């Protein structure tokens, strides 16, 4: 078993000073010349996506939900698939920043900022869907409890109302947590800024941080409290999202295992997205010193563990369908799994391939150490998790109770455009973030360095005797 | 200033010059026509008025400018101190009219050589809803989808207005002048060059008008032609009795019915009456099955009558006659030659012979209009042999004046046109250029006729070819009369002034003859003549009741059936593919092609909308290697039609069924590109089946089906049992409900969770009498302002009907333990099993084993509605009277309720359907309305708004909607009851679907009232809920379908 010292060595290898850490990380923001063609290319793709998103949304608002593929009996299609998918992706950020903080997992430090930003942008993408999927988005605020002359409240029994609370809470807490964590680094950037406007902007954002003991004391309190608030959200948000389905009576939706299985799925998808983003960015910004192979190893292990929970969930779904003796559940199961016999069975087997078969390669340490493999496995999981929602949401609806109303679901170009648009928006926001805010927690890196310099060395020295 | 006074125009001179004008002539002013010297000068001068502008003085200029500025300023202030909306009260209040209270008027609609008595609701002079007339013997308060949809035709934006000559605007005066001149030319020859072409009509006034014309012009030819006719019926009875007769069936008196290709429940004349009579014998209360009749259907196509059959035999069309010959021989009719056919199982003949003879005097043989004359003669002879005549069927003189072979008559008429014998042609309704037989092409005939005019409500293929196109009034806009069923007549009274510049056929004829053209006076004079004694006393009564019930109108019974009838030669077996032609179930012969409600109405057996298809059985589909929608080429002789294929599992092998009426080329917005025209296959010689080939062609058409899954997948959704199984176990139907009620239930008892008080609304749908005709669907569409979505949206599964008719198939006799319970069948999974050529599937798709059940599905108004708890904004809530209500203006459109509805009866406005119905498809019309003087263009939206029911909210996009149990009618009844200071009585409320239902299969009322009919039906041992295991406690329940098979034929 590696000692703490050697572990920290793995997390922050090489010789450095506090200044070199500041330079390496802070200059990504302060020295704009570091963002070259790569940044511009990816950002442009993101920007095109944003435009595609805006066009899709305008077209949707102008015409109505009919521009999507939703129909009778499939009331929810790409809209809710993508909502759940994006929300799930967000979960890794909160898990890394909150739960791993509470569990004192030091290895989270170099990826947490980045993962939190990912959470916020993913929740933004997710949040668009429930709003826009309503037939009359201009009155979607009726889902909020607000005082009005009609004394009309939302209908609190509806899981959609719970969703509103869950997602807005999640968004608020995530933004707060992220921002609070940014303050010391913003102050560092303020102090290192060479031009006045930059100094002023970062100065305002740093909220008067002076690096004093009091500041640090308050910071530590705020951050641990927010972590405490966020930790249950990791579990609750996706549980509540899963209630949209689990609380219904639709065969294939009404399953008690949904809450834990959705949470595991969310962490699974979230880590996949963190890895998929971290690998290229690490390379482009030469952050090999901060995001090390050890990080990837840990993340891959988390991914494998949650992947196995998800696989167990799939197994239980099959088991329940059989064990319940419910004809509708059984029929739904056959509808999903009879390959080539039913219209959408291919998507179930695609899900199995992407989410169960391929991620099992992570058992091999060699795979966990191979970034190319890891990148493609993460991609496979992202696709697989999308298919999971595809299989659950519209495909369950295509065949529920009455064979007379069995139907089909085919997405339209607007569905695909809007999904591609949210991906573009996500990339757009991520790359703005990378350019204008420190993507790796500078002060926590320095803290780690401090540990290594003073405590680990002493510790290692004492052990050597 | 110019002091020279312009010369006065001589208007008479101008009129005379205009009257002589022919062809498209344009003129700028009356002066041009008069060709005055002033005009010539004006025409020469480039700026004719410049002198006056140049000569204006300073003061006048300032005055004019000042005045212009002031008036322009005032105009801008208009909306500040003047109301912009005009509300005009009645200066003279119309008699009996109370604003807000609809009025009812009795009238009738001509349909299929007969008529349907109607009561039309009118809101402040605007007809909005058509119902059957309870006093009329042919409708008995019921209706069909055509009657229901007729109101939409009235407001169709594509209707014609005024007169055009060769496509140029003209006027009735011009037309009459030209027509009278054309008639006058024929005076010399006694009118030998005059041709009148009408659809087959029963109108006494029209008949007398034509007689009047023929008195003036004895040589005038009158042909009646409709593509759907009863030529074969009359010919068959001529064969049997020596007289042209038509049968009048009394299905309520028949214990055993044999139908030979006779779709008496939907497409035969007076089908509403026959369906009702039939249904009275399918009603089974308290497990007393003694009332049940038994229906055998031998048919070569797929019809709802076959769907209702206790035993159905699918055979090729020529075999229908062979079957009739074989059976008649067994029943003791001297038939002569009765060769056997492999398609006729001996068991069937044995069973039928014994069953029919066992019910002598209470059995009837029905033959359909497309069956050969010999089949009709054989049916008459069999009815004679069974003692049915006078008991279950009478043969009476036809209602219409159609004589002999009308198709041959039409062919001769067109030949006369071609030969130049007809110089002046008047077409009063109908569309022969589209629906005429292929061997008498109308197009060619028009080249030789110097004067031709066609009266039509819509532009069609015929109006394109004639010289004069005249706009016809809708039957709700004009006076008229029709006869139906047993001869009963009805005065058609106008409910509204013609919306356009239109005239009715009798008005046009009268204008030609005398020039008055007053429809009211014409109808009155007819009836004064027909019933002088009663006329004075009862004219108002006739209008009021909608029924003229006079002894002189009753059709007389015809001559008796002869012995030793010569049934003609035996049909030869034909190896080619048999092509069965039938009118389209929803758009009929093409007349209704521009009616969006009917275009979008699923055809009962196929659920196809907006199209027609070549219907073929499974084996044929497999052999051709086509899937639904792939094109096939149907060839008969030198004529061919390319049309999409569609599986219809009940089709006999080697037979294809084509519905005619689709594929109109000159039609309004709605009917454009809807379906394929198959009339080119029909000739005057082929009124029955045709024989040809079917082969795979390239291309495909996506067919908009509303139901793609036809098996119950082993789920016991709709309960069907044989009489025997039901007698052995009377809890057979109710058991599942009882078990569900006893079983585990998480919900608290009713009263704890939700207090119900007042009337408790509930509905029962009797599947034993539901014939699947779809009248309820159109009735609901009309009552509840349900929009039409168009083919592309139906393809996406977004049709808006609040009530739909589910249709399931079952294959009998596959499972030995099968007791006739519908769900116990071998699943037929989409097209995949259909294309599975394996032996195991062969029997499943055997057309003779296919049984059909129809189940209308509306909102179940569940007491524990799954839709309610999932709505985030409480837009769907329960009423204390047990209605599951939809609050449109609260709905934000999450569609969660629809996902959670197990019955999938909720409908979502995915787009702004109400304002973008297919009738509006061509937005160009708007521009036309604004920028062009064409009176026919534009105002489509405004016209269509008039069809709406003012008591029902119109739903915008993004809102969920569904069946409300016609809550507006409930409220109306409640108000009426309160006004009379009484409680609601059973029968106070009829929902729209219930009212339209020809068979009274829908029963609605207060289930809290133990004496109400609906409560009694819910206690019946046939009562069951759909999906009882979900414990939703449905307010809409069903009465199980009971099949009454012949034991000797079961397991055949």
Looking at chain B, which residue has its C-alpha nearest residue A341?
A: B832
Nearest to B958 among A69, A136, A158 (CB): A136
Find chain B residues with C-beta within 8 A of A136's C-beta: 891-893, 957-959
Query: 3-state DSSP call for residue B257?
Result: strand
- Looking at the DSSP bridge assignments, the partners of residue B805 are B856
Contact between B469 and B160 (Cβ < 8 Å): yes
Strand runs labelled E in B417-487: 424-428, 451-456, 468-471, 480-484
What average pLDDT does the segment B1020-1048 reach?
A: 90
Residue tagged 């429930």 (tokens): A130
User: Closest approach of chain B CAs to the CA of A399, in angstroms?
Assistant: 10
Longest dimension (CA), chain A: 80
Give the residue from B720, B579, B573 showing the smallest Cα distance to B651: B579
Question: Within its chain, how far is the Cα of A385 from the centroid?
Answer: 12
What would the pLDDT profile of A310-352 be if each residue is shown by its tens digit? 999 999 988 988 888 888 888 888 888 887 777 888 899 999 9
- Interchain contact, A66 vs B957, CB within 8 Å: yes
- Interchain contact, A75 vs B911, CB within 8 Å: no
Nearest to A70 among B714, B829, B910 (CB): B910
Distance CA(B93)–CA(B73), nearest Å, equals 39
Find chain B residues with C-beta within 8 A of A247's C-beta: 870
Nearest to B911 among A64, A69, A402 (CB): A64
- Interchain contact, B910 vs A64, CB within 8 Å: yes
Lowest average pLDDT, out of A364-378, B615-629, B872-886, B912-926, goes to B912-926
- Interchain contact, A136 vs B959, CB within 8 Å: yes
Residue B838 sits at the chain A interface (C-beta within 8 Å) = no
Backbone angles phi, psi at B1032, to 5 degrees: -85, -5
Here the tokens at position B817 are: 């333990």
Q: Which of residues 266-295 of B touch A (CB under 8 A)?
A: none
- Interchain contact, A152 vs B857, CB within 8 Å: no
Picking from A62, A64, A67, A72 by the largest number of B CB atoms within 10 A of its own CB, the best residue to mutate is A72
Distance CA(B28)–CA(B224), nearest Å, equals 44
Nearest to B958 among A64, A400, A405 (CB): A64
Nearest to A142 among B873, B902, B912 (CB): B873
Give, for B510, the enclosing helix (H) or strand (E): helix B505-513
> Is B57 buried (19+), middle (13-18) or exposed (0-12) by CB count in 10 A?
exposed
Q: Which of residues 943-982 of B touch A (CB under 8 A)?
A: 957-960
Give the model's pLDDT for residue A455.
67
Give the model's pLDDT for residue B35.
67
- Interchain contact, A404 vs B890, CB within 8 Å: no
Q: Is pLDDT above 50 for B926?
A: no
* ipTM here: 0.91
Q: Which residues contact A308 (CB under 8 A, 6 or more apart)?
A: none
- Interchain contact, A250 vs B898, CB within 8 Å: no
What average pLDDT does the segment B719-748 reach?
A: 79
Distance CA(B120)–CA(B132), nearest Å, equals 8
Helices and strands, counts by H and E, chain B: 38, 38
- Interchain contact, A402 vs B808, CB within 8 Å: no
- Interchain contact, A404 vs B907, CB within 8 Å: no
Find chain A residues with C-beta within 8 A of B707's C-beta: 404-405
Lowest average pLDDT, out of A157-171, B385-399, B547-561, goes to B547-561
Residue B888 sits at the chain A interface (C-beta within 8 Å) = no
- Interchain contact, A403 vs B804, CB within 8 Å: no
Contact between B1029 and B740 (Cβ < 8 Å): yes
Give the model's pLDDT for residue B493.
93
Distance CA(A333)–CA(A395), nearest Å, equals 11
Q: Is pLDDT above 70 for A7?
A: no
Distance CA(A357)–CA(A347), nearest Å, equals 14
What would the pLDDT profile of B91-137 be if each residue is shown by its tens digit? 887 777 888 888 999 999 999 889 999 999 999 889 999 999 999 99
CATH of domain A20-449: 1.20.1630.10
Give the model's pLDDT for residue B933.
45
Here the tokens at position B61 are: 């200029």
Find chain B residues with C-beta within 8 A of A135's C-beta: 891-895, 908-910, 957-960
Question: Within its chain, how far is the Cα of A42 from the centroid?
Answer: 20
Find chain A residues with C-beta within 8 A of B894's C-beta: 133-135, 160
Residue B614 sits at the chain A interface (C-beta within 8 Å) = no
Nearest to B872 among A136, A161, A341 (CB): A161
User: Closest approach of chain A CAs to the CA of B1052, in angstroms?
Assistant: 28
Q: Which of residues 464-523 of B touch A (CB under 8 A)?
A: none
Find chain A residues with C-beta within 8 A of B860's C-beta: none
Give the residue from B983, B1005, B1002 showing the smallest Cα distance to B994: B1002
Q: What is the pTM of this model?
A: 0.88
- Interchain contact, B1027 vs A65, CB within 8 Å: no
Q: Is pLDDT above 60 for B817?
A: no
Q: Which residues contact B768 (CB under 8 A, 6 or more apart)?
A: B282, B283, B284, B1001, B1022, B1039, B1040, B1041, B1042
Tell me the torsion sign for CA atoms A335, A336, A338, A339.
positive
Picking from A73, A75, A335 by the largest number of B CB atoms within 10 A of its own CB, the best residue to mutate is A75
Looking at chain B, which residue has its C-alpha nearest residue A411?
A: B796
Find chain A residues with C-beta within 8 A of B958's C-beta: 64-65, 134-136
Looking at chain B, which residue has its C-alpha nearest residue A131?
A: B894
- Looking at the DSSP bridge assignments, the partners of residue B468 are B165, B453
- Interchain contact, A72 vs B715, CB within 8 Å: no
Give the model's pLDDT for residue A159.
93
Q: Is pLDDT above 90 for B579?
A: yes
What average pLDDT does the segment B895-900 reach?
A: 94
Q: Is pLDDT above 80 for A10?
A: no
- Interchain contact, B893 vs A155, CB within 8 Å: no
Give the model's pLDDT for residue B505.
93
- Interchain contact, A158 vs B872, CB within 8 Å: yes
Nearest to A250 among B711, B807, B899 (CB): B899
User: What's the N-to-C CA distance of chain A in angstroms?
Assistant: 19
Residue B1026 sits at the chain A interface (C-beta within 8 Å) = yes
Give the residue from A445, A372, A462 showing the smallest Cα distance to A14: A445
Find chain A residues with C-beta within 8 A of B797's C-beta: 71-74, 407-408
Local confidence band at B441 (pLDDT 50, 70, 90 cut-offs): confident
User: Closest approach of chain A CAs to the CA of B429, in angstroms?
Assistant: 40
Give the model's pLDDT for residue A217.
92
Lowest average pLDDT, out of A118-122, B12-16, B599-603, B631-635, goes to B12-16
Find chain B residues with C-beta within 8 A of A328's C-beta: 715
Nearest to A71 among B796, B808, B896 (CB): B796
pLDDT, chain B, mean: 85
Domain boundaries, chain A: 20-449
Give the model's pLDDT for residue B921.
53
Residue tagged 């005239």 (tokens): B503
Residue B319 sits at the chain A interface (C-beta within 8 Å) = no
What are the respective helix, strand and coil percentages of chain B, to the nearest 5?
35, 20, 50
Give the model's pLDDT for residue B752.
62
- Looking at the DSSP bridge assignments, the partners of residue B644 are B631
What would the pLDDT profile of A79-136 be if each residue is shown by its tens digit? 999 999 999 998 878 888 787 777 777 777 778 888 888 999 999 999 999 999 999 9
What average pLDDT does the segment B934-961 reach?
A: 77
What would the pLDDT profile of A268-287 be if each residue is shown by its tens digit? 998 899 899 889 988 888 88
Distance CA(B835)–CA(A273), nearest Å, equals 44
Give the model's pLDDT for residue A57.
94
Give the model's pLDDT for residue B36.
67
Find chain A residues with C-beta within 8 A of B900's C-beta: 248-250
Distance CA(A461)–CA(A441), nearest Å, equals 28
Picking from B835, B873, B898 by the largest number of A CB atoms within 10 A of its own CB, the best residue to mutate is B873
Domains and their CATH numbers in chain B:
1-71 (no CATH), 232-396 (3.40.228.10), 577-705 (2.40.40.20), 720-743+758-1043 (3.30.70.20)
User: Closest approach of chain B CAs to the CA of A101, in angstroms?
Assistant: 36
Q: Which of residues 558-587 of B touch A (CB under 8 A)?
A: none
- Interchain contact, B892 vs A134, CB within 8 Å: yes
């Amino acid at each position: 078993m590696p000692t703490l010292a050697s572990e920290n060595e793995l997390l922050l290898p090489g010789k450095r000073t506090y200044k070199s850490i500041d330079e390496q990380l802070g200059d990504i923001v302060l020295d704009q010349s570091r963002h070259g063609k790569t940044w511009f290319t990816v950002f442009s793709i993101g920007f095109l996506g944003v435009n595609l998103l805006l066009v899709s949304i305008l077209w949707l608002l102008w015409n109505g939900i009919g521009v999507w593929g939703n129909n009778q009996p499939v009331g929810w299609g790409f809209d809710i698939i993508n909502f759940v998918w994006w929300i799930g992706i967000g979960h890794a950020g909160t898990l890394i920043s909150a739960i791993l903080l509470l569990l004192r997992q030091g290895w989270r430090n170099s990826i947490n900022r980045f993962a939190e930003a990912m959470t916020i942008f993913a929740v933004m993408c997710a949040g668009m869907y429930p709003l826009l999927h309503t037939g009359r988005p201009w009155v979607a605020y009726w889902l909020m409890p607000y005082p009005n002359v009609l004394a009309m409240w939302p209908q609190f029994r509806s899981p959609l109302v719970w969703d509103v609370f869950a997602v807005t809470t999640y968004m608020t807490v995530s933004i707060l947590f992220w921002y609070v964590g940014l303050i010391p680094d913003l102050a560092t950037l303020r102090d290192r800024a060479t031009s006045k406007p930059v100094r002023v902007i970062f100065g305002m954002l740093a909220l008067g941080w002076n690096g004093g003991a009091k500041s640090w004391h308050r910071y530590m309190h705020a951050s641990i409290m927010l972590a405490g608030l966020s930790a249950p959200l990791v579990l609750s948000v996706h549980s509540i999202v899963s209630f949209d389905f689990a609380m219904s009576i639709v065969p294939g939706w009404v399953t008690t295992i949904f809450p834990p299985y959705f949470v595991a799925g969310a962490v699974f998808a979230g880590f996949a997205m963190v890895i998929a983003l971290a690998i290229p960015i690490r390379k482009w910004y030469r952050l090999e010193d901060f995001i090390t192979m050890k990080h990837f190893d840990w993340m891959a292990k988390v991914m494998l563990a949650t992947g196995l929970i998800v696989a167990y969930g799939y197994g239980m779904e099959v088991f329940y369908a059989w064990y319940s003796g419910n004809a509708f559940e059984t029929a739904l199961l056959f509808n999903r799994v009879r390959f080539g016999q039913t219209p959408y069975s291919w998507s179930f087997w695609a899900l199995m391939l992407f989410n169960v078969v391929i991620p099992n390669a992570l058992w091999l340490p060699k795979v966990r150490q191979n970034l190319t493999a890891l990148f493609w496995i993460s991609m496979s999981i992202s696709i697989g998790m999308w298919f999971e929602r595809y299989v659950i949401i519209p495909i369950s609806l295509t065949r529920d109770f009455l064979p007379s109303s069995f139907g089909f679901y085919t997405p339209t170009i607007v569905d695909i455009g809007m999904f591609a648009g949210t991906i573009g928006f996500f990339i757009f926001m991520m790359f703005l973030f990378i350019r204008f805010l420190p993507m790796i927690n500078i002060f926590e890196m320095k803290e780690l360095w401090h540990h290594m310099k003073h405590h680990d060395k002493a510790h290692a020295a004492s052990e050597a005797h | 200033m110019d002091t020279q006074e312009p010369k006065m125009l001589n208007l008479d001179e101008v009129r005379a010059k205009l009257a002589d004008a022919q062809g498209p002539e344009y003129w700028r002013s009356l002066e041009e026509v008069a060709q005055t010297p002033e005009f010539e000068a004006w025409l020469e001068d480039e700026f004719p008025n410049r002198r006056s502008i140049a000569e204006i003085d300073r003061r006048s200029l300032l005055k004019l400018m000042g005045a212009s500025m002031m008036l322009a300023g005032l105009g801008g202030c208009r909306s500040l101190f003047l109301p912009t909306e005009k509300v005009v009260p009645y200066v003279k209040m119309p008699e009996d009219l109370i604003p807000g209270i609809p009025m009812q008027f009795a009238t009738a609609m001509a349909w299929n050589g007969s008529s349907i008595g109607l009561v039309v609701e009118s809101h402040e002079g605007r007809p909005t809803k058509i119902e059957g007339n309870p006093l009329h013997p042919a409708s008995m308060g019921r209706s069909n989808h055509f009657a229901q949809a007729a109101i939409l035709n009235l407001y169709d934006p594509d209707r014609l207005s005024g007169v055009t000559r060769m496509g140029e605007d003209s006027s009735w005066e011009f037309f009459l002048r030209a027509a009278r001149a054309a008639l006058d030319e024929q005076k010399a020859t006694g009118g030998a060059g005059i041709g009148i072409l009408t659809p087959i009509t029963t109108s006494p006034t029209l008949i007398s008008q034509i007689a009047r014309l023929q008195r003036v012009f004895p040589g005038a030819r009158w042909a009646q032609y409709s593509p759907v006719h009863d030529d074969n019926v009359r010919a068959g009875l001529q064969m049997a009795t020596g007289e042209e007769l038509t049968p009048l069936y009394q299905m309520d008196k028949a214990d055993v019915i044999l139908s030979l290709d006779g779709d008496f429940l939907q497409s035969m004349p007076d089908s509403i009456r026959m369906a009702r009579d039939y249904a009275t014998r399918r009603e089974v209360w308290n497990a007393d099955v003694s009332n049940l009749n038994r229906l055998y259907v031998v048919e070569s196509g797929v019809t709802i009558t076959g769907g209702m059959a206790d035993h159905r035999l699918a055979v090729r069309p020529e075999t229908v006659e062979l079957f009739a010959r074989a059976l008649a021989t067994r029943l003791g009719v001297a038939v002569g030659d009765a060769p056997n056919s492999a398609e006729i199982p001996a068991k069937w003949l044995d069973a039928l012979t014994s069953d029919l003879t066992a019910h002598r005097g209470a059995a009837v043989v029905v033959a359909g209009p497309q069956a050969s004359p010999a089949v009709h003669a054989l049916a008459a002879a069999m009815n004679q042999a069974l003692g049915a005549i006078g008991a279950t069927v009478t043969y009476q003189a036809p209602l219409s004046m159609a004589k002999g072979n009308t198709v041959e008559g039409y062919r001769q008429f067109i030949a006369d046109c071609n030969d130049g014998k007809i110089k002046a042609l008047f077409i009063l309704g109908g569309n022969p250029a589209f629906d005429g037989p292929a061997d008498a092409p109308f197009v060619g005939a028009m080249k030789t006729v110097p004067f031709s005019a066609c009266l039509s409500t819509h532009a069609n293929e015929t109006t394109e070819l004639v010289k004069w196109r005249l706009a016809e009034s809708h039957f709700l806009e004009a006076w008229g009369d029709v006869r139906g069923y047993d001869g009963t007549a009805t005065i058609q009274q106008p409910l509204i002034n013609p919306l356009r510049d239109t005239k009715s056929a009798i008005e046009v004829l009268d204008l030609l003859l005398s020039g008055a053209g007053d429809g009211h006076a014409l109808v009155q004079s007819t009836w004064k003549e027909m019933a002088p004694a009663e006329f004075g006393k009862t004219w108002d009564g006739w209008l009021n009741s909608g029924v003229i019930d006079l002894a002189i109108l009753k059709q007389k019974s015809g001559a008796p059936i002869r012995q030793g009838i010569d049934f003609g030669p035996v049909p030869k077996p034909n190896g080619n593919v048999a092509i069965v032609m039938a009118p389209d179930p929803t758009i009929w012969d093409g007349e209704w092609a521009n009616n969006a409600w009917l275009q979008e109405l699923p055809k009962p057996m196929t659920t196809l909308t907006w199209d027609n298809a070549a219907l073929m059985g499974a084996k044929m589909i497999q052999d051709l290697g086509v899937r639904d929608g792939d094109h096939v080429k149907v060839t008969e002789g030198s004529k061919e039609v390319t049309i999409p294929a569609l599986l219809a599992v009940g089709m006999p092998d080697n037979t294809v069924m084509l519905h005619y009426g689709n594929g109109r080329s000159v039609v309004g917005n709605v009917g454009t590109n809807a379906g394929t025209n198959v009339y080119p296959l029909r000739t005057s010689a082929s009124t029955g089946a045709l024989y040809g080939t079917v082969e795979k062609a390239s291309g495909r058409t996506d067919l908009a089906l509303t139901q793609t899954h036809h098996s119950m997948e082993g789920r016991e959704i709709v309960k069907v049992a044989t009489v025997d199984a039901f007698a052995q176990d009377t809890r057979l139907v109710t058991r599942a409900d009882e078990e569900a009620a006893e079983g585990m239930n998480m919900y608290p008892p009713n009263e704890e969770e939700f207090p119900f008080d007042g009337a408790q609304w509930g509905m029962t749908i009797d599947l034993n009498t539901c014939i699947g005709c779809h009248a309820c669907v159109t009735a609901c569409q009309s009552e509840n302002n349900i929009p039409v979505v168009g083919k592309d949206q139906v393809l996406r599964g977004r049709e808006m009907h609040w009530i739909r008719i589910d249709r399931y198939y079952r294959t009998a006799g596959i499972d030995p333990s099968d007791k006739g319970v519908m769900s116990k069948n071998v699943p037929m999974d989409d097209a995949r099993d259909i294309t599975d050529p394996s032996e195991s599937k062969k029997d499943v798709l055997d057309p003779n084993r296919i049984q059909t059940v129809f189940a209308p599905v509306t909102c179940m108004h569940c007491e524990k509605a799954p839709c309610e708890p999932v709505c985030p904004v409480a837009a769907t809530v329960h009423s204390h009277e047990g209605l599951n209500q939809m609050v449109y203006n609260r709905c934000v459109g999450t569609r969660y309720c629809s996902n959670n509805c197990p019955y999938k009866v909720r409908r979502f406005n995915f787009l702004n359907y109400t304002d973008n119905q297919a009738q509006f498809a061509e937005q160009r019309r708007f521009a036309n309305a604004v920028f062009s003087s064409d009176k026919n263009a534009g105002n489509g939206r405004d016209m269509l708004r008039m069809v709406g029911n003012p008591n029902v909210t119109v739903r915008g996009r993004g809102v969920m909607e569904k069946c409300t149990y016609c809550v507006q009618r409930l409220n109306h009844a409640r108000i009426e009851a309160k006004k009379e200071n009484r409680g609601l009585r059973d029968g106070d409320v009829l929902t729209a679907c219930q009212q339209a239902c020809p068979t009274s299969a829908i029963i609605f009322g207060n289930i809290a009232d133990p004496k109400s009919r609906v409560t009694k039906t819910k206690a019946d041992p046939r009562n069951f809920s759909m999906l009882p295991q979900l414990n939703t406690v449905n307010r809409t329940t069903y009465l199980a379908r009971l099949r009454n098979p012949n034991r000797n034929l079961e397991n055949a």
